[in-house]
Structure 1
Amino acid sequence: MTGLLAADNPFASPSPLPYELPPFEQIQVEHFAPAIEAGFAEHRAEVAAIAGNTAEASFENTIEALERSGELLDRVLEVFFALTSSDATPEIEALETEFSPRIAAHYDAISLDAELYDRIRKVYDQREQLGLTSEQQYLVERLELEFRLAGANLDETGKSTLKELNQLLASLDTRFVRNLQADTNDLAVVVDDPSALAGLAESEVQSAASAATDAGLPGKYRVTLPLYTGHPWLAQLRHRPLRQRIFEASRSRGVRGGDHDNQQTVLDSVRLRAQKAQLLGFKSHADLVAANSTAGSVAAIDERLRTLAVPAVRNAERELQVLQELVDEQQRAEGEEPFELAAWDWAYYAEQIRERDFQVDEAALRPYFEADRVLHNGVFFAANLLYGLTFEPREDLVGHHPECKIFEVFDADGTGLGLYILDLYARDIKRGGAWMSTYRQQNELNGQATVVFNVLNVPRPPQGSPTLLTFDELETLFHEFGHALHGLLAHVTYPHFGGTNVLRDFVEFPSQVNEMWMTHPTVLANYARHYETGEPLPEEQFAKLRAAKAFNQGFMTAEYLAASVLDMAWHKLSPQEAAEVTDVVQFERDALAEAGLLLETVPTRYSSTYFQHIFGGGYSAGYYGYIWSEVFDAASVEVFETAEDIRATGERFRRSILEPGGSRRPQELVREFLGADASIQPLLRRRGLDN
């Protein structure tokens, strides 16, 4: 079937490069369309052969055959989707607009194939009599559930409606992300007077100057916006009007009217998702998503969010009192009238409290967090400490962007595990946020190893200057690398279960655990050195740094919970209720007020019109998953903190949590590592919510 694609197309056959790294030096925009078309055709033919097989349905001729299918399409789409998010040129965007609904339609046709589902169902019904391995039986059960939730048992009229809804939703997701990216770029704050940047490190000022020059504004300074509501520089900027400009620019994304307004896109997405859920027999989209989750039900999710919201708000209000007292004290000392602290002031005064009470100055710490040293002597060092992994630079290989760094990853016994790629710097054509994805994922069925990449959005420093990470960027790097480890260390038979192919409210667990190594004494001492002098971060500073992690948890928990509640509020709507909502801003305020989380000084981490996780990132009705996973994370971190042998505990975590990927039920994996079900108490202690 690969004869459908010209032999000189780089997607026509598996890459000859190590671990099947895509041959990016050969791939051109014009290669995608014919490769996707050929991938569609080949995959359709493979599925038709499975569905039309006249032999009795078996695991081998149905389930395993389905797992082997779609290789060409997977090969091209893995690269295509990587570029739509990390290097979205106008040509790539045009292809995304053309193919996004068609890709959705292609997979719909497979999920809704009655003959294919009938064969899956026959294997499912006799699964306990077939002598299957535990992984094989679980694969049968997962596929049956996923096909059923995708609409495989609908009648033909229902399937036709579902296909139309899915194509519309795919187009809306694309539109939302594109509008957000354009509006985020348009709303970058331009500063004329450098004195307004007082408080920033010189490297940050130069970064803003370089960003302005790149945007055709030489002599000015450009403050680009991150994906979330706040901005890391709000903690340092002394100029209050500029803090307000940055904050208000961030909050206004997608609600200004014009071509990049996302309000109607949000309303349309919510209505179509509710209609789809009802068509599939569920009350709401949230109920549909919960049916395939670790949480199990909307009621369980709501209960968890309610349990945490009350103490989080209480702590945030206490923190606000402390911050307001500092504002009043400073204003009176300067002979000025005190002002009421606003949302754009919180980070600035919280940073001063951190310095005063913990003697931690995050800006002063940045020279100790030079990116390359953090990567090699921190992130990689921790992976070696825990799992015996080593990382060798592969400068002979090329990633999806010239700035990508590529490393070959070796196990403790010298076995090659795969490739790790890091794409660190922000670009206007890269979507905001940070993430992990794969080009190849380990599985024994096809004999493949893992090629994984992390994408971040760290501002690029001026030429010749070091990349000094903020505390948030440092944490993000460790977090995303935790996802990468999940991909690299997975060892499964079937592609369906590889790496992070787990239930969505479980996927953040391993990456959250990996954050702990950022401040672990052994790891921190190995990477936190001044980039100019080589002096280590003073011991007392790192003790204070660890102590300060508990500070401001009321704010951080409340802003996260507000976003989670907002996500659930949108997606608990029935089709009738969704049709009645016409005002996005008012709905958001009402939902947060009802949950007790409408705090003017603690805004939601993401407002609806720039909430890419749920309207363009696959996390709809699932943003709660971070806190759900953190229950497992906090309990696991306490195990590591009390372990006498870190390496032995790391190996146990690897065998119990990372290697199985999605091949076993999450609760079983957690129970195996902890020796019991996870308690919520470690999470409450960590976030200061237990008092």
Structure 2
Amino acid sequence: MKINVCKRLMFAVCFAAGVAVYGQDATGHVNPFLSEFNTPYGVPPFEQITVADYREGFLKGMEEQKQEIDAIVNQRSMPDFENTIVALDRSGVMLNRVAYVFFGQSGCNTNAEMQALEQEMAPLLSAHSDDISLNKRLFQRVKEVYENRTKFNLDKEQAKLLEETYKSFVRSGANLSDADQQKLRALNEKISTLQITFEQNMLKETNAFKLVITDEKDLSGLPASLIAQAAETAKGMGEEGKWVFTLHNPSIMPFLQYADNRALRERIYKAYINRGNNGNDADNKQVVRDLITARLEKAKLMGYEDYASMVLEDRMAKNEKNVYDLLNQLWTPALAKAKEELADIKAEIKREGNDFEPEGWDWRYYFEKAKKHKYDMDENEIRPYLELNNVRDGAFYMAKRLYGITFRPLEYMPKPHPEAQVFECIDKDGKPLGILYFDFFPRASKSGGAWCGEYRPQSYDENGNKVVPVVTIVCNFTKPSAGEPALLSPDEATTLFHEFGHGLHSLFCDVHYTGVSGVPRDFVELPSQIDEHFTFEPEMLQVYAKHYKTGEVMPTELVEKYDKSSKYGQGFATVEYLAASLLDMDFHTLKSVPADMDVMEFEAKTLGDRGLLKQIPSRYRTTYFAHTMGGGYTAGYYSYIWAEVLDCDAFGAYVESGNLFDPEVASKFRKYVLTPGGIDDAMDMYVNFRGKGPDIKWLLEKRGLDTPAPLKQDKE
């Protein structure tokens, strides 16, 4: 996952600046949120913050922003850009300070108290957001400025802020009747609460299962490093002398890939794909049904025929047809490739003297054998060359070669978790660009997947001074056993480069107004996915891919074997991803939701009708599909493949130049893609960088898929 960029959208309106309030409790403890953080670079003082501080900060922050909004609407001055649009953009400094830290921590370091507060705050934050976006007097001032915009001599950034502010009010229901606004408030509150419930249920279900192995024979086929980590996990759970495997990806995925015991593979696989679908207190089926119903009701209230139409209106894709055209265009060649891979898997089963139909728990296991047979390639040969800190330093090297920036480790800094690493990012002119945290390993208090977020976004204060961002990259990589280094899989190494790309996007962003800092959801993965291309380039591997014991650079022979085998398996990878994207779209293009709808039957039919192989589950099944059901990528999971068309074509600029670190290409990418936030339209940003629109040929070449029919985008 890769988000979040920011993992969730916290409010419909999110602004910055305001008045500080000071206070302390009876014990003398001062709530850090009630003033600017007194820390290096103003990072959050994580170890000083209590759950009570979050609660007080939320309540005071909402009250403070309410006063700021009242001051805007009650002023006697005629509405203009500064006293209305800028004042609105700068409101809510305390609320945002609390929200960025709380939601960042709720994803990576939560507990029962924080989860309870999350449930308590969800309806209050939803109501507060609605109080702003549905404030008639405030909207009237915004509208007046918008309708008279030619009078204010605005520059491009200011004009974009005004346009986005006006549109956000309209899209948030400002033009609805009083009665419909009340309905919208209720729906927003319901949706917000359901999304949080979904995510909390998913975390509970992921943590609930453990596969305990007591017989060493059942470990047959597993890499020594995975066995050692399972022993460490068991010890931490009070099961010393045993081996424990969990549903966290660094544990289950290599187990499915290497474990010889088919019955155990089946057991852990079924536990994984049935999360949220077990009929217990964490079951998500009713949550999903209620959620898609509420979203559809909201869309119709806003004048759209379905939820996807409302969401896509301001995305690059523009409409449902363009999304489905891309997904369907890729589905046919990807499914054909997956069927070829299935034939290879069946051949491996027969080669072992077995005669059974492969199931989902067999795919990764026999695929690994097929790859070994075809290419003499075992990913475990690569892991010793992918020591975590070396891979991280490889990403730093890439950034220095491309952009001239450097990263310096900082000591004695507040951290979001004791395991986190922290670095200062310094630009090529010697000025600080921001702070970057890494939080690499899974734990029960952390959501699954990987994401990049912010504890503070880039901004400018009222005096025109730049405020650098505080960025965090959160992953769930295989944790090393005691005394051993963390050795990454190729996929984990690619994930690190991916999230680092999001981090660079946040660090390079340079805008004066919060309201123009973001980009469309289907553009946001371009800055991350282009960095994936560098991970296994031979020139990069020579720098960072060194054996953790000997320091030997990854041998050329191994690099070539990996390169030849890297496209193998793209049928499976592309189909499972497209299945999830189609499922997301199918839920949110519904024009009605039956009261008795069985969401799992819907999933089975919508994917079964397209011919999805039974051995390939959707990458995220309905009841643990947090990208769409938890918010953030709702009717937007297609964004990864949409952005992949862009990132493959963008990397083509380096290929065409013949220089992996071409300074001119990198400078243009930074200037036109990484720096301007959302000041320009997304496609304009891309064309400014590339000089032309994207060509899908680069994506097809990367994935090793046959060329489908040409894609024509509907611009309406």
Normalising by structure 1, we get a TM-score of 0.96
Question: How far apart, in 2, do the equivalents of 1:481 and 1:347 lie?
Answer: 27
Cross-structure match for 1:334: none
Choose the corresponding residue for 1:477, options 496, 515, 525: 496
Local SS of the residue matching 1:465: coil
Local SS of the residue matching 2:582: helix
How do 1:339-350 and structure 2 match up within 5 A? 339-350=356-367
Choose the corresponding residue for 1:541, options 515, 535, 558: 558
1:682 equivalent in alignment to 2:698: yes
Question: How far apart, in 2, do the equivalents of 1:279 and 1:250 lie?
Answer: 37
Q: Deviations over 1:252-296 (max 9, x none)?
A: 111110111111001000100000111111111111101121100
1:440–1:448: 8 Å Cα contact kept in structure 2? no
What is the CA distance between 1:234 and its match in structure 2?
1.7
1:128–1:137: 8 Å Cα contact kept in structure 2? no
1:111 equivalent in alignment to 2:133: yes
How do 1:81-480 and structure 2 match up within 5 A? 81-226=103-248, 231-331=253-353, 337-376=354-393, 378-445=394-461, 447-480=466-499
Q: How many correspondences in the alignment? A: 680
What is the CA distance between 1:644 and its match in structure 2?
3.9
Question: How far apart, in 2, do the equivalents of 1:93 and 1:21 lie?
Answer: 23
What is the CA distance between 1:666 and its match in structure 2?
0.5
2:535–2:541: 8 Å Cα contact kept in structure 1? yes
Q: Deviations over 1:162-219 (max 9, x none)?
A: 1111111111111111111111111232222232222222221121122122223222
Cross-structure match for 2:632: 618
Local SS of the residue matching 1:458: coil
Cross-structure match for 2:88: 66
What is the CA distance between 1:4 and its match in structure 2?
6.7
1:445–1:494: 8 Å Cα contact kept in structure 2? no
Relative to structure 1, the CA distance from residue 112 to residue 239 in structure 2 (aligned partners, 3 Å threshold; closer, same or farther) is: same
2:22–2:35: 8 Å Cα contact kept in structure 1? no
Cross-structure match for 1:22: 44
1:229–1:606: 8 Å Cα contact kept in structure 2? no
Q: Which runs of 5+ in 1 are unaligned?
A: 332-336
Q: CA RMSD in A?
A: 1.7
Cross-structure match for 1:2: 20
Question: How far apart, in 1, do the equivalents of 2:694 and 2:150 lie?
Answer: 30
Which residue type is aligned with residue 349 of structure 2?
Answer: V
Local SS of the residue matching 1:439: strand
1:509–1:630: 8 Å Cα contact kept in structure 2? yes
1:562–1:597: 8 Å Cα contact kept in structure 2? no
2:245–2:252: 8 Å Cα contact kept in structure 1? no
Question: How far apart, in 2, do the equivalents of 1:529 and 1:319 lie?
Answer: 32
Question: How far apart, in 1, do the equivalents of 2:627 and 2:572 lie?
Answer: 20
Choose the corresponding residue for 1:49, options 64, 67, 71: 71
Q: Which runs of 5+ in 2 are unaligned?
A: 1-18, 708-716
1:441–1:487: 8 Å Cα contact kept in structure 2? yes
Local SS of the residue matching 1:620: coil
Local SS of the residue matching 1:578: coil
Cross-structure match for 1:629: 643
What is the CA distance between 1:462 and its match in structure 2?
2.2
1:656 equivalent in alignment to 2:678: no
What is the CA distance between 1:590 and its match in structure 2?
1.1
What is the CA distance between 1:17 and its match in structure 2?
2.0
Question: How far apart, in 2, do the equivalents of 1:39 and 1:488 lie?
Answer: 26
Relative to structure 1, the CA distance from residue 229 to residue 628 in structure 2 (aligned partners, 3 Å threshold; closer, same or farther) is: farther
Which residue type is aligned with residue 496 of structure 1?
Answer: G
Q: Deviations over 1:307-340 (max 9, x none)?
A: 1111111111111112211221222xxxxx3222
1:229–1:251: 8 Å Cα contact kept in structure 2? no
Question: How far apart, in 2, do the equivalents of 1:690 and 1:142 lie?
Answer: 40
